[in-house]
Structure 1
Amino acid sequence: MKIVPNRIIIILAVFFLSVTNVFADPGPPPPSTPPPPPGLPLDGGILLLVILSISYGLYKLNKIKKASN
């Protein structure tokens, strides 16, 4: 079998060009995400908390009055 020099050059070129992809640097890191917005609003559930605390206080006062009678 006769070895053709052009075929060897093509085989070597393909081999060496495919190896260069292995040594390539990775791309730059993705940009960082923006920071989250600062906390939740403070007045989100305050009305519900005030209503529950007043009703619990009235319940306890009623319970104390009934126990003393």
Structure 2
Amino acid sequence: MKTLLILILAIVIIIISTTLLLAQPGLPGAPSQAPIDGGLGLLAAAGGAYAWKKLREGKNEK
């Protein structure tokens, strides 16, 4: 009986220790979203104004 108890205890300790030693870290949380509305809108407006200026300059040279 004593041998059986020691054997069961050894098996339980081995199972618990392998579970703890092989544990993987959890997945990272969701990334925070970057706001792109203000700066991207200004860049688009500046690019459109620059293109319009270049188109008008091209028509005036002909």
Residue 49 of structure 1: how far off its partner (Å): 1.3
Q: What pairs up with 1:1-69 in 2 under 5 angstroms? A: 27-28=17-18, 29-43=21-35, 45-69=36-60
Q: Among the aligned pairs, what percent are the same residue? A: 16
Structure of larger gyration radius: 1
Unaligned segments of structure 2, at least 5 residues: 1-13
Q: Partners in 2 of 1:67 and 1:31 — Cα distance?
A: 67
TM-score normalised to the size of structure 2?
Answer: 0.51
> What's the C-alpha RMSD, in Å, of the aligned pairs?
2.1
Higher helix share: 2
Query: Displaced runs of 4+ in structure 1, greater than 4 A?
Result: none
In structure 2, what is the equivalent of residue 4 of structure 1?
none
Q: How many residues in Structure 1 have an aligned counterpart in Structure 2?
A: 43
Unaligned segments of structure 1, at least 5 residues: 1-24
Q: Partners in 1 of 2:24 and 2:37 — Cα distance?
A: 35
TM-score normalised to the size of structure 1?
Answer: 0.47
